[in-house]
Protein backbone atom coordinates (compact mmCIF):
# COMPACT_ATOMS: atom_id res chain seq x y z
CA UNK A 1 0.00 0.00 0.00
CA UNK A 2 1.37 3.40 -1.02
CA UNK A 3 0.22 6.80 0.22
CA UNK A 4 -1.36 9.09 -2.35
CA UNK A 5 1.09 11.51 -3.98
CA UNK A 6 0.77 14.98 -2.49
CA UNK A 7 0.34 16.56 -5.92
CA UNK A 8 -1.51 15.71 -9.10
CA UNK A 9 0.26 15.37 -12.47
CA UNK A 10 1.11 18.75 -13.94
CA UNK A 11 -1.33 18.20 -16.84
CA UNK A 12 -4.36 18.53 -14.51
CA UNK A 13 -3.02 20.83 -11.78
CA UNK A 14 -4.79 23.79 -13.38
CA UNK A 15 -8.23 22.12 -13.42
CA UNK A 16 -9.84 23.33 -10.22
CA UNK A 17 -12.55 20.69 -9.76
CA UNK A 18 -10.07 17.85 -10.22
CA UNK A 19 -7.64 19.40 -7.74
CA UNK A 20 -10.49 19.95 -5.30
CA UNK A 21 -11.67 16.31 -5.56
CA UNK A 22 -8.15 15.02 -5.10
CA UNK A 23 -7.65 17.22 -2.03
CA UNK A 24 -10.80 15.67 -0.56
CA UNK A 25 -9.16 12.25 -0.99
CA UNK A 26 -5.94 13.51 0.61
CA UNK A 27 -7.83 14.86 3.63
CA UNK A 28 -9.73 11.59 3.99
CA UNK A 29 -6.50 9.61 3.83
CA UNK A 30 -4.89 11.89 6.46
CA UNK A 31 -7.88 11.51 8.78
CA UNK A 32 -7.81 7.73 8.50
CA UNK A 33 -4.05 7.66 9.13
CA UNK A 34 -4.61 9.65 12.32
CA UNK A 35 -7.19 7.06 13.40
CA UNK A 36 -4.70 4.26 12.69
CA UNK A 37 -1.96 6.07 14.63
CA UNK A 38 -4.37 6.32 17.57
CA UNK A 39 -4.91 2.58 17.54
CA UNK A 40 -8.26 2.51 15.75
CA UNK A 41 -9.07 -0.33 13.37
CA UNK A 42 -10.32 1.31 10.15
CA UNK A 43 -10.82 -1.95 8.31
CA UNK A 44 -10.96 -1.43 4.54
CA UNK A 45 -11.50 2.31 4.80
CA UNK A 46 -7.89 3.24 4.04
CA UNK A 47 -7.84 1.04 0.95
CA UNK A 48 -11.16 2.53 -0.22
CA UNK A 49 -9.94 6.09 0.29
CA UNK A 50 -6.81 5.43 -1.74
CA UNK A 51 -8.79 3.68 -4.45
CA UNK A 52 -10.66 6.97 -4.96
CA UNK A 53 -7.45 8.98 -5.14
CA UNK A 54 -5.74 6.62 -7.55
CA UNK A 55 -8.87 6.50 -9.71
CA UNK A 56 -8.35 10.22 -10.31
CA UNK A 57 -4.73 9.57 -11.27
CA UNK A 58 -5.40 6.66 -13.60
CA UNK A 59 -8.88 7.28 -15.05
CA UNK A 60 -9.00 6.44 -18.75
CA UNK A 61 -10.06 9.65 -20.49
CA UNK A 62 -11.49 12.95 -19.31
CA UNK A 63 -15.15 11.86 -19.45
CA UNK A 64 -14.52 9.02 -17.02
CA UNK A 65 -12.49 11.35 -14.82
CA UNK A 66 -15.37 13.85 -14.69
CA UNK A 67 -17.73 11.17 -13.40
CA UNK A 68 -15.34 10.13 -10.63
CA UNK A 69 -14.67 13.75 -9.63
CA UNK A 70 -18.42 14.47 -9.54
CA UNK A 71 -19.05 11.46 -7.29
CA UNK A 72 -16.35 12.58 -4.87
CA UNK A 73 -17.68 16.15 -4.73
CA UNK A 74 -21.22 14.90 -4.12
CA UNK A 75 -20.06 13.12 -0.95
CA UNK A 76 -17.41 15.63 0.11
CA UNK A 77 -19.05 16.45 3.45
CA UNK A 78 -20.24 12.93 4.26
CA UNK A 79 -17.34 10.63 5.07
CA UNK A 80 -19.40 7.39 5.27
CA UNK A 81 -20.90 8.06 1.82
CA UNK A 82 -17.50 8.97 0.41
CA UNK A 83 -16.03 5.73 1.71
CA UNK A 84 -19.05 3.88 0.29
CA UNK A 85 -18.17 5.25 -3.17
CA UNK A 86 -14.61 4.00 -2.71
CA UNK A 87 -15.88 0.59 -1.64
CA UNK A 88 -18.19 0.52 -4.66
CA UNK A 89 -15.19 0.85 -6.97
CA UNK A 90 -13.25 -1.64 -4.86
CA UNK A 91 -16.04 -4.24 -5.13
CA UNK A 92 -17.40 -3.60 -8.62
CA UNK A 93 -14.19 -2.61 -10.42
CA UNK A 94 -11.07 -3.94 -8.74
CA UNK A 95 -12.56 -6.98 -7.00
CA UNK A 96 -14.72 -7.77 -10.02
CA UNK A 97 -11.72 -7.59 -12.33
CA UNK A 98 -9.82 -9.86 -9.94
CA UNK A 99 -12.70 -12.21 -9.06
CA UNK A 100 -12.50 -15.70 -10.50
CA UNK A 101 -8.90 -15.07 -11.59
CA UNK A 102 -7.52 -17.36 -8.91
CA UNK A 103 -9.30 -20.21 -10.65
CA UNK A 104 -6.70 -20.51 -13.41
CA UNK A 105 -7.53 -23.33 -15.77
CA UNK A 106 -5.35 -26.38 -15.57
CA UNK A 107 -3.31 -26.66 -18.77
CA UNK A 108 -4.54 -29.41 -21.03
CA UNK A 109 -2.31 -32.40 -21.53
CA UNK A 110 -3.93 -33.08 -24.87
CA UNK A 111 -2.59 -31.59 -28.06
CA UNK A 112 -4.42 -28.68 -29.62
CA UNK A 113 -7.05 -29.71 -32.13
CA UNK A 114 -5.62 -27.10 -34.52
CA UNK A 115 -2.88 -28.41 -36.77
CA UNK A 116 0.31 -26.39 -36.97
CA UNK A 117 0.34 -24.15 -40.03
CA UNK A 118 2.90 -21.41 -40.62
CA UNK A 119 1.13 -20.21 -43.77
CA UNK A 120 -1.47 -17.42 -43.48
CA UNK A 121 -3.12 -18.74 -46.66
CA UNK A 122 -4.58 -21.72 -44.78
CA UNK A 123 -5.76 -19.86 -41.68
CA UNK A 124 -9.38 -20.19 -42.73
CA UNK A 125 -9.16 -23.99 -42.52
CA UNK A 126 -8.01 -24.02 -38.90
CA UNK A 127 -9.36 -20.86 -37.25
CA UNK A 128 -12.60 -21.05 -35.27
CA UNK A 129 -14.54 -18.19 -36.86
CA UNK A 130 -16.92 -17.62 -33.93
CA UNK A 131 -15.31 -19.02 -30.77
CA UNK A 132 -17.90 -20.16 -28.24
CA UNK A 133 -15.76 -21.57 -25.44
CA UNK A 134 -12.45 -21.44 -23.64
CA UNK A 135 -11.22 -24.31 -25.84
CA UNK A 136 -12.06 -22.35 -29.00
CA UNK A 137 -10.37 -19.22 -27.64
CA UNK A 138 -7.25 -21.15 -26.72
CA UNK A 139 -7.09 -22.79 -30.15
CA UNK A 140 -7.36 -19.42 -31.93
CA UNK A 141 -4.81 -17.78 -29.64
CA UNK A 142 -2.34 -20.60 -30.26
CA UNK A 143 -2.69 -20.14 -34.02
CA UNK A 144 -2.14 -16.39 -33.88
CA UNK A 145 0.70 -16.65 -31.35
CA UNK A 146 2.43 -19.38 -33.35
CA UNK A 147 1.93 -21.89 -30.55
CA UNK A 148 4.16 -19.91 -28.21
CA UNK A 149 3.80 -17.88 -25.03
CA UNK A 150 3.59 -14.22 -26.09
CA UNK A 151 5.97 -13.20 -23.29
CA UNK A 152 8.61 -15.91 -23.02
CA UNK A 153 8.39 -17.37 -26.53
CA UNK A 154 8.19 -20.90 -25.11
CA UNK A 155 6.37 -23.39 -27.32
CA UNK A 156 3.19 -25.07 -26.13
CA UNK A 157 4.26 -28.55 -25.07
CA UNK A 158 1.01 -30.41 -25.90
CA UNK A 159 1.01 -28.96 -29.42
CA UNK A 160 4.68 -29.73 -30.06
CA UNK A 161 4.35 -33.26 -28.71
CA UNK A 162 1.45 -33.97 -31.06
CA UNK A 163 2.69 -32.40 -34.30
CA UNK A 164 5.68 -33.58 -36.32
CA UNK A 165 5.95 -30.40 -38.38
CA UNK A 166 6.17 -28.25 -35.27
CA UNK A 167 8.67 -30.67 -33.77
CA UNK A 168 10.96 -30.01 -36.73
CA UNK A 169 10.58 -26.26 -36.23
CA UNK A 170 11.43 -26.72 -32.55
CA UNK A 171 14.53 -28.84 -33.30
CA UNK A 172 15.82 -26.26 -35.77
CA UNK A 173 15.94 -23.57 -33.07
CA UNK A 174 18.75 -24.24 -30.55
CA UNK A 175 17.28 -21.71 -28.10
CA UNK A 176 13.73 -23.07 -28.22
CA UNK A 177 12.06 -24.01 -24.94
CA UNK A 178 8.70 -25.57 -24.08
CA UNK A 179 6.08 -25.06 -21.38
CA UNK A 180 2.44 -25.77 -20.65
CA UNK A 181 0.58 -22.72 -21.88
CA UNK A 182 -2.87 -21.39 -21.06
CA UNK A 183 -5.31 -19.03 -22.71
CA UNK A 184 -5.22 -15.77 -20.74
CA UNK A 185 -8.34 -13.62 -20.92
CA UNK A 186 -7.79 -9.90 -20.28
CA UNK A 187 -11.43 -9.65 -19.23
CA UNK A 188 -12.46 -12.97 -17.68
CA UNK A 189 -15.50 -15.09 -18.39
CA UNK A 190 -16.98 -13.98 -15.05
CA UNK A 191 -17.61 -10.53 -16.59
CA UNK A 192 -19.87 -12.00 -19.28
CA UNK A 193 -23.33 -10.42 -19.60
CA UNK A 194 -24.86 -13.15 -21.78
CA UNK A 195 -26.70 -14.80 -18.91
CA UNK A 196 -30.26 -15.10 -17.71
CA UNK A 197 -31.86 -11.81 -16.57
CA UNK A 198 -32.54 -11.54 -12.84
CA UNK A 199 -29.77 -13.88 -11.74
CA UNK A 200 -27.04 -13.02 -9.26
CA UNK A 201 -24.41 -13.37 -11.96
CA UNK A 202 -26.31 -10.99 -14.24
CA UNK A 203 -26.44 -8.39 -11.45
CA UNK A 204 -22.77 -8.95 -10.69
CA UNK A 205 -21.70 -8.49 -14.31
CA UNK A 206 -23.93 -5.43 -14.75
CA UNK A 207 -22.43 -3.83 -11.64
CA UNK A 208 -18.94 -4.47 -12.95
CA UNK A 209 -19.65 -2.87 -16.31
CA UNK A 210 -21.37 0.09 -14.65
CA UNK A 211 -18.15 0.70 -12.70
CA UNK A 212 -16.14 0.33 -15.91
CA UNK A 213 -18.37 2.92 -17.58
CA UNK A 214 -17.78 5.37 -14.75
CA UNK A 215 -14.06 4.76 -15.07
CA UNK A 216 -14.07 5.29 -18.85
CA UNK A 217 -17.30 6.81 -20.10
CA UNK A 218 -16.64 5.99 -23.76
CA UNK A 219 -15.83 2.30 -23.59
CA UNK A 220 -17.82 -0.20 -25.65
CA UNK A 221 -16.52 -3.26 -23.86
CA UNK A 222 -19.89 -4.71 -22.75
CA UNK A 223 -21.00 -4.78 -26.39
CA UNK A 224 -17.74 -6.18 -27.74
CA UNK A 225 -17.33 -8.83 -25.05
CA UNK A 226 -20.95 -9.85 -24.51
CA UNK A 227 -21.77 -13.52 -24.85
CA UNK A 228 -19.21 -15.49 -26.83
CA UNK A 229 -17.44 -12.19 -27.59
CA UNK A 230 -15.51 -12.73 -24.36
CA UNK A 231 -13.46 -15.29 -26.34
CA UNK A 232 -12.60 -12.99 -29.25
CA UNK A 233 -8.91 -12.80 -30.13
CA UNK A 234 -8.35 -9.18 -28.98
CA UNK A 235 -9.23 -10.38 -25.46
CA UNK A 236 -6.97 -13.43 -25.25
CA UNK A 237 -3.28 -14.32 -25.26
CA UNK A 238 -1.19 -17.49 -25.03
CA UNK A 239 0.78 -17.47 -21.78
CA UNK A 240 2.79 -20.02 -19.87
CA UNK A 241 1.12 -20.89 -16.57
CA UNK A 242 3.43 -18.97 -14.21
CA UNK A 243 3.19 -15.68 -16.09
CA UNK A 244 -0.58 -16.16 -16.43
CA UNK A 245 -0.82 -16.30 -12.65
CA UNK A 246 1.23 -13.09 -12.28
CA UNK A 247 -0.94 -11.35 -14.90
CA UNK A 248 -4.24 -12.44 -13.39
CA UNK A 249 -3.22 -11.51 -9.85
CA UNK A 250 -2.16 -7.98 -10.85
CA UNK A 251 1.53 -8.55 -10.20
CA UNK A 252 2.37 -7.61 -13.80
CA UNK A 253 0.83 -5.51 -16.56
CA UNK A 254 1.55 -4.21 -20.06
CA UNK A 255 2.42 -0.54 -20.67
CA UNK A 256 2.30 0.74 -24.28
CA UNK A 257 5.37 2.27 -25.91
CA UNK A 258 5.60 4.64 -28.86
CA UNK A 259 6.03 1.63 -31.15
CA UNK A 260 2.78 0.00 -32.26
CA UNK A 261 1.97 -3.28 -30.46
CA UNK A 262 5.14 -3.03 -28.36
CA UNK A 263 4.71 -2.98 -24.58
CA UNK A 264 6.94 -2.58 -21.57
CA UNK A 265 6.34 -5.02 -18.73
CA UNK A 266 5.79 -3.41 -15.34
CA UNK A 267 5.26 -5.11 -12.02
CA UNK A 268 4.51 -4.51 -8.38
CA UNK A 269 7.72 -6.42 -7.62
CA UNK A 270 11.12 -6.21 -9.27
CA UNK A 271 11.59 -9.93 -8.58
CA UNK A 272 8.69 -10.86 -10.85
CA UNK A 273 10.25 -9.14 -13.86
CA UNK A 274 13.71 -10.57 -13.25
CA UNK A 275 12.90 -13.73 -15.24
CA UNK A 276 11.03 -12.06 -18.10
CA UNK A 277 11.96 -9.74 -21.00
CA UNK A 278 11.62 -5.99 -20.48
CA UNK A 279 9.48 -5.56 -23.60
CA UNK A 280 6.91 -7.65 -25.46
CA UNK A 281 5.82 -7.09 -29.05
CA UNK A 282 2.61 -8.67 -30.30
CA UNK A 283 2.76 -9.92 -33.89
CA UNK A 284 0.36 -11.59 -36.28
CA UNK A 285 0.45 -13.02 -39.78
CA UNK A 286 -3.00 -11.59 -40.55
CA UNK A 287 -4.18 -8.44 -38.69
CA UNK A 288 -7.76 -8.89 -39.96
CA UNK A 289 -8.40 -12.54 -39.19
CA UNK A 290 -5.91 -12.79 -36.34
CA UNK A 291 -5.92 -9.42 -34.51
CA UNK A 292 -3.44 -8.87 -31.69
CA UNK A 293 -4.53 -8.18 -28.09
CA UNK A 294 -6.50 -4.95 -27.79
CA UNK A 295 -4.59 -1.88 -26.53
CA UNK A 296 -7.84 -0.68 -24.90
CA UNK A 297 -8.36 -3.91 -22.97
CA UNK A 298 -4.71 -3.99 -21.87
CA UNK A 299 -4.91 -0.34 -20.76
CA UNK A 300 -7.94 -1.13 -18.58
CA UNK A 301 -6.12 -4.09 -17.04
CA UNK A 302 -2.97 -2.00 -16.43
CA UNK A 303 -4.92 0.84 -14.82
CA UNK A 304 -6.79 -1.56 -12.56
CA UNK A 305 -3.58 -3.36 -11.63
CA UNK A 306 -1.82 -0.08 -10.73
CA UNK A 307 -4.75 1.17 -8.65
CA UNK A 308 -5.08 -2.20 -6.94
CA UNK A 309 -1.36 -2.38 -6.16
CA UNK A 310 -0.86 1.18 -4.96
CA UNK A 311 -4.07 1.35 -2.90
CA UNK A 312 -3.39 -1.95 -1.15
CA UNK A 313 -6.41 -3.62 -2.76
CA UNK A 314 -4.30 -6.20 -4.60
CA UNK A 315 -2.50 -7.22 -1.42
CA UNK A 316 -5.86 -7.52 0.33
CA UNK A 317 -7.50 -9.61 -2.41
CA UNK A 318 -4.49 -11.90 -2.83
CA UNK A 319 -4.39 -12.45 0.94
CA UNK A 320 -8.12 -13.15 0.86
CA UNK A 321 -7.65 -15.98 -1.64
CA UNK A 322 -4.78 -17.42 0.39
CA UNK A 323 -6.91 -17.31 3.55
CA UNK A 324 -9.82 -18.92 1.70
CA UNK A 325 -7.59 -21.80 0.68
CA UNK A 326 -6.38 -22.26 4.27
CA UNK A 327 -9.76 -21.85 6.02
CA UNK A 328 -12.43 -24.48 6.48
CA UNK A 329 -14.69 -22.66 9.00
CA UNK A 330 -15.68 -19.08 9.87
CA UNK A 331 -14.66 -17.45 13.15
CA UNK A 332 -17.42 -17.42 15.75
CA UNK A 333 -16.62 -13.81 16.77
CA UNK A 334 -17.39 -12.47 13.30
CA UNK A 335 -13.76 -11.85 12.36
CA UNK A 336 -14.34 -13.74 9.11
CA UNK A 337 -17.20 -11.50 7.99
CA UNK A 338 -15.09 -9.86 5.29
CA UNK A 339 -14.14 -13.29 3.95
CA UNK A 340 -17.78 -14.35 3.80
CA UNK A 341 -18.80 -11.10 2.07
CA UNK A 342 -16.26 -11.46 -0.71
CA UNK A 343 -16.77 -15.20 -0.98
CA UNK A 344 -20.39 -14.41 -1.83
CA UNK A 345 -19.19 -11.94 -4.47
CA UNK A 346 -17.09 -14.73 -5.98
CA UNK A 347 -20.00 -17.16 -5.92
CA UNK A 348 -22.14 -14.67 -7.81
CA UNK A 349 -19.30 -14.17 -10.28
CA UNK A 350 -19.31 -17.83 -11.25
CA UNK A 351 -23.07 -18.09 -11.52
CA UNK A 352 -24.35 -19.32 -8.16
CA UNK A 353 -27.62 -17.91 -6.88
CA UNK A 354 -27.09 -16.49 -3.37
CA UNK A 355 -30.27 -16.50 -1.28
CA UNK A 356 -30.33 -14.05 1.66
Residues 6+ apart with CB under 8 A from 347: 200, 354
Judged against a pLDDT cut of 90, whether residue 333 lies above it is answered with no
Residue 196 lies in a domain: no
Instruction: Find the length of the chain.
Output: 356
Residue 349: band (very low, low, confident or very high) from pLDDT cuts 50, 70, 90: very low
Of 232 and 220, more confident? 232
Model pLDDT, residue 124 = 42
Residue 242 lies in a domain: yes
Residue 123 lies in a domain: no
Distances from the Cα of 329 to the Cα of 319, 324, 334, 340, angstroms? 17, 10, 11, 10
Quick check: 105 and 56 in contact, CB under 8 A?
A: no
Model pLDDT, residue 11 = 84
Count the helix, strand and coil residues of the chain and give each as a percent rounded to the nearest 5.
55, 10, 40
Model pLDDT, residue 136 = 93
Separation CA 259–CA 119 (nearest Å)? 26
Mean of the per-residue pLDDT values of the chain: 80
Percent of the chain at pLDDT > 70 equals: 72
Judged against a pLDDT cut of 60, whether residue 324 lies above it is answered with yes
Residue 196: band (very low, low, confident or very high) from pLDDT cuts 50, 70, 90: very low
Residue 128: band (very low, low, confident or very high) from pLDDT cuts 50, 70, 90: confident
Judged against a pLDDT cut of 60, whether residue 134 lies above it is answered with yes
Q: Total structural domains in the chain?
A: 1
Give the DSSP per-residue string, 92-131. IIIIHHHTTTTSPPPPPSSPPSSPP---GGGGGGTS-SS-
Model pLDDT, residue 352 = 40
Quick check: 289 and 127 in contact, CB under 8 A?
A: yes
Residue 228 lies in a domain: yes
Model pLDDT, residue 347 = 41
Of 95 and 246, more confident? 246
Judged against a pLDDT cut of 70, whether residue 340 lies above it is answered with no
Residue 249 lies in a domain: yes
The domain of 168 spans 133-190+219-318
Give the DSSP per-residue string, 35-84. HHHTT---TTHHHHHHHHHHHHHH-SSHHHHHHHHHHHHHTTT-HHHHHH
Residue 346: band (very low, low, confident or very high) from pLDDT cuts 50, 70, 90: very low
Mean pLDDT over 61-89 rounds to: 89
Quick check: 159 and 142 in contact, CB under 8 A?
A: yes
Model pLDDT, residue 104 = 44
Residue 317: band (very low, low, confident or very high) from pLDDT cuts 50, 70, 90: confident
Q: 286-313: per-residue pLDDT in tens?
A: 999 999 999 988 998 998 899 999 999 8
Backbone angles phi, psi at 181, to 5 degrees: -105, 160
Residue 227 lies in a domain: yes
Cα 95–chain centre separation? 10
Model pLDDT, residue 96 = 66
Distances from the Cα of 181 to the Cα of 104, 115, 123, 138, angstroms? 11, 16, 21, 9
Residue 198 lies in a domain: no
Mean pLDDT over 249-255 rounds to: 93
Model pLDDT, residue 148 = 95
Residue 280 lies in a domain: yes
Amino acid sequence: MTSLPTELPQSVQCIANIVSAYNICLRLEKSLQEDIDNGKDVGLDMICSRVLGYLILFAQGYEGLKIIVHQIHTCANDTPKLLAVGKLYFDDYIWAFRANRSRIRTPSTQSSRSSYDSSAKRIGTTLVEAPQSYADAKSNALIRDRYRCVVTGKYDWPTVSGNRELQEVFRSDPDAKMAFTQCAHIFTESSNLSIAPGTDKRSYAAAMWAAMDRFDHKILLPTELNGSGIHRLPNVMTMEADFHNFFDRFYVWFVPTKEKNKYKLESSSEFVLHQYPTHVTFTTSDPIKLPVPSPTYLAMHAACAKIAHLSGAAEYTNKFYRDMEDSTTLDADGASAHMLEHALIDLRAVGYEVVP
